[in-house]
Chain A
Amino acid sequence: MHRSFTFLTWAAVLCTAALLALGLVLPKWLLFMCTMAFANGLVSLGIVLLMRGGVVAFGQGLMSAIGGYTAALLFQKMGITDAIVLTLIGGFTAAALTAPFAPLLSRYRGIFFSMLTLALSMVGYGILVKTERLGGSDGFNLGRVSVLGQALSDDWVGYVLYAVAVCFACLMSYLSRIYFDSTRGLITQAIRENELRVEYLGGSVRHTMALNFVLAAFMGGCGGALAVMALGHIDPNFSYWTTSGEFVFVAILAGTQSVIAIMLSSVILEAVRSFSSAYFPNTWQLALGLFLMFVIRFLPLGLGSLWSPKAHKEQA
């Protein structure tokens, strides 16, 4: 392992505590924005996991939609209201539903992987739009969730959902960092450089890529479930390609070096989107596009490259 396990654990605990404390002083609108940012950041974390192996999933919106619909349906039909349980089940369902496709997708590289994932997500979008029992194109609402058996009051619901999102985001980032630095994580990076050499050295490229895909689906499902609980609504647009594009946007903005950069990038995207749509309602996409171009032009390895020594070496 590249980093000390103790250091990482303390960093994750302190980061979680600091974010939870910060949430107590944030205004409600900012709490909601950060909750959405952390939820979406989880989906992008999955994309970064795949990017470290040299492939970019343009259909990760489908994983988010699976997690979201699972959470919303369990809430509506089965009366499960606990946010933590719904998030976990959302993640596991996304992983379970995508697992059969993982061996197939592990054969693909480059733009063909991106396009196949995009095609699958658009098939999912089409099915969701046409399924009236799931609300069709309008989707459906879900009510207020609970946490650990406690009902949430109006004053605390925003903060508690924020806290759940922070805990999941920090825990997943922590586990991802451990995975990135593990043997399989390093094999993933080697696959990006030259997968044939990995095979000659005895590593299983397809097994690693398939596992990464399932892990990314789990994170996407958790992110989708959290986003749905914060929004109180689910619709097929979760699976539309432009939504997946935003998740990829965050992953590119963050780069593949730092897990903190992913959550930071997600917060930045939400902030740019919120402020642009508030102050430039007719040109917020223009502002977002210019911002993305600026980042790609001047930080092609992402925000994480600003403080990651590995990225500096790569750039050199």
Chain B
Amino acid sequence: MGLAVTILIDGLTYASWLFIVALGLTLVFGVLKILNIAHGSFYALGAYAAATFVGWVATMKWAPGWSLVAMLLAAIAIAVLIAPLTERGLLRFFYGHDEVLLVLVTYALFLCMEDITKLIWGANPYYVSEPYSLFGNVEIGNQIYVGYDFLLVVLAVVVGLAVWWALNRTRQGKIVTAVIHSPEIASSMGIQVSKVYMHAFGVGVFLAALGGAFTAPMISVQPGVSVGVIILSFAVVIIGGLGSIEGAAIGALIVGLARAFAVHVAPVAELFSIYVVMALVLMVRPEGLFQRIQARKI
């Protein structure tokens, strides 16, 4: 029983930050039809920016609670600076190309961002320990968990509900849905599609950076963090079905629980358990759990 609870809590914690990152990825794919490998780089930028901002808060000797605000501001700063530059300055030139070619464009961007990150922050690791101790420890059964982990779960629920509400209950959300279904018809109805693309991409970048910023206290922020995250996010959105919020949530839960199960029960399988799950899901549902089967065109 104790082991099951541990697996559940570890899996939930892991799934929560992964969901935030994967939500951005699935949103960008849903609207722009781009499977963005550079999404992992935006996650890394969020983590680095959070390390810098939290460092400033510590230098100015502000109350530790401000470090949470600093992490949020770091994610916003990355989205405001990077998203328009990437979408307007690079991606728009490739719209309409084959989706695999677009994946390669973002792969090229990913390679560039790896070095740009190193040039700005160097190769040494950063540690953002202050926010991690803010919420103390929580005792469940005989196990002690860090309170900060539960903050991530709450954050993931809030972010997921906010994005769902924005897409399904607001005028802007309906505009985005119209563009997802048909950019041409949306454009003929007076919607500025390029603006929708830029804003959707901005939200995607923000979610990646937010995921990076709030996981920074749990990891050592160093070159290479983006590589693992992007493949995990791919696994989540592929399992759930590309472009689906519910799919991203279920996918993140499956990945989180599979990893936690492997860590506690079969550590030797930790490295590849997620990919086994991904392969199994694709074998049963070739287009993910929440993807509608498309009719084949003659």
A residues near B, CB below 8 A? 56, 104, 107-108, 110-112, 114-116, 118-120, 122-123, 125-127, 129-130, 194-197, 241-242, 245, 248-249, 252, 282-286, 288-290, 292-293, 296-297, 300
Say whether, besides A284-B115, A290-B108, A196 and B101 are in contact (CB < 8 Å): no
Stretch from B20-28, B55-63, B150-158, B273-281 that touches the partner: B273-281
- Indicate if the CB atoms of B108 and A130 lie closer than 8 Å: no
State whether the Cβ of B103 lies closer than 8 Å to any Cβ in chain A: yes
Say whether, besides A119-B282, A241-B231, A293-B90, A197 and B269 are in contact (CB < 8 Å): no
Closest A residue, CB atoms, query B227: A242
State whether the Cβ of B286 lies closer than 8 Å to any Cβ in chain A: yes
Say whether, besides A196-B296, A289-B109, A126 and B104 are in contact (CB < 8 Å): no
Closest B residue, CB atoms, query A197: B298
State whether the Cβ of B94 lies closer than 8 Å to any Cβ in chain A: yes
State whether the Cβ of B75 lies closer than 8 Å to any Cβ in chain A: no
B112 to chain A: which residues have CB within 8 Å?
285-286, 289-290, 293
Say whether, besides A116-B282, A120-B279, A282 and B104 are in contact (CB < 8 Å): no
Q: How far is the CA of A200 from the CA of B204 in the complex (A)?
A: 42
- Indicate if the CB atoms of A118 and B101 lie closer than 8 Å: no
Interface residues of B in 96-120 (CB under 8 A from A): 97, 99-101, 103-105, 107-116, 118-119
The 5 closest A-B pairs by CB, nearest first: A126-B272, A289-B111, A126-B271, A289-B112, A286-B115
Q: How close is B43's CB to chain A, nearest CB, in angstroms? A: 16
- Indicate if the CB atoms of B287 and A112 lie closer than 8 Å: yes
Interface residues of B in 105-151 (CB under 8 A from A): 105, 107-116, 118-119
- Indicate if the CB atoms of B268 and A130 lie closer than 8 Å: yes
Closest B residue, CB atoms, query A199: B296
CB contact between B286 and one of A112, A248, A293 (< 8 Å): that residue: A112
CB contact between A125 and one of B90, B105, B271, B288 (< 8 Å): that residue: B271
Say whether, besides A111-B242, A126-B272, A283 and B115 are in contact (CB < 8 Å): yes
Q: How close is A163's CB to chain B, nearest CB, in angstroms? A: 33
B118 to chain A: which residues have CB within 8 Å?
282
Q: How close is B224's CB to chain A, nearest CB, in angstroms? A: 10
A selection of 13 A-B contacts at a CB cut-off of 8 Å is A111-B35, A112-B286, A116-B278, A125-B271, A196-B296, A196-B298, A245-B107, A285-B111, A285-B112, A285-B115, A292-B104, A296-B104, A300-B101
A56 to chain B: which residues have CB within 8 Å?
100
Q: How far is the CA of A241 from the CA of B288 in the complex (A)?
A: 21
Q: How close is A262's CB to chain B, nearest CB, in angstroms? A: 16
Q: How far is the CA of A129 from the CA of B100 in the complex (A)?
A: 29
- Prevailing SS type, chain B contact patch: helix
CB contact between A119 and one of B107, B242, B278, B288 (< 8 Å): that residue: B278
Closest B residue, CB atoms, query A107: B286
- Indicate if the CB atoms of B278 and A115 lie closer than 8 Å: yes
Interface residues of B in 253-274 (CB under 8 A from A): 268-269, 271-272
Say whether, besides A197-B298, A292-B111, A293-B109, A119 and B101 are in contact (CB < 8 Å): no
Q: How far is the CA of A130 from the CA of B268 in the complex (A)?
A: 6
Q: How far is the CA of A282 from the CA of B269 in the complex (A)?
A: 34
B residues near A, CB below 8 A? 35, 90, 93-94, 97, 99-101, 103-105, 107-116, 118-119, 227, 231, 234-235, 238, 242, 268-269, 271-272, 275-276, 278-279, 282-283, 286-288, 296-298
- Indicate if the CB atoms of A296 and B105 lie closer than 8 Å: yes
Q: How far is the CA of A121 from the CA of B164 in the complex (A)?
A: 34
Say whether, besides A104-B283, A289-B111, A130 and B271 are in contact (CB < 8 Å): yes
- Indicate if the CB atoms of B234 and A118 lie closer than 8 Å: yes
- Indicate if the CB atoms of B279 and A111 lie closer than 8 Å: no
Say whether, besides A118-B234, A126-B269, A245-B107, A110 and B90 are in contact (CB < 8 Å): no
Closest B residue, CB atoms, query A290: B112
Which of B97, B119, B279, B288 has the most A CB atoms < 10 Å from its CB? B279
Q: How far is the CA of A32 from the CA of B101 in the complex (A)?
A: 30
Closest B residue, CB atoms, query A104: B283
List 8 extra interface pairs beyond A129-B271, A130-B271, CB under 8 A: A116-B282, A116-B283, A118-B234, A119-B282, A123-B272, A123-B276, A249-B104, A288-B108
Q: How close is B68's CB to chain A, nearest CB, in angstroms? A: 33
Q: How far is the CA of A56 from the CA of B100 in the complex (A)?
A: 7
Q: How far is the CA of A127 from the CA of B97 in the complex (A)?
A: 36
CB contact between B97 and one of A194, A241, A300 (< 8 Å): that residue: A300
- Indicate if the CB atoms of B234 and A115 lie closer than 8 Å: yes
Q: How far is the CA of A115 from the CA of B271 in the complex (A)?
A: 17
Closest B residue, CB atoms, query A51: B100
Q: How far is the CA of A118 from the CA of B103 in the complex (A)?
A: 14
Q: How far is the CA of A133 from the CA of B111 in the complex (A)?
A: 33
CB contact between A127 and one of B105, B235, B272 (< 8 Å): that residue: B272
Closest A residue, CB atoms, query B273: A126
Q: How close is A134's CB to chain B, nearest CB, in angstroms? A: 14
Closest A residue, CB atoms, query B111: A289
- Indicate if the CB atoms of B268 and A119 lie closer than 8 Å: no
Q: How close is A228's CB to chain B, nearest CB, in angstroms? A: 22
Q: How far is the CA of A123 from the CA of B283 in the complex (A)?
A: 15
Q: How far is the CA of A108 from the CA of B110 in the complex (A)?
A: 26
B93 to chain A: which residues have CB within 8 Å?
297
CB contact between B107 and one of A111, A129, A195, A249 (< 8 Å): that residue: A249
Q: How far is the CA of A227 from the CA of B227 in the complex (A)?
A: 24
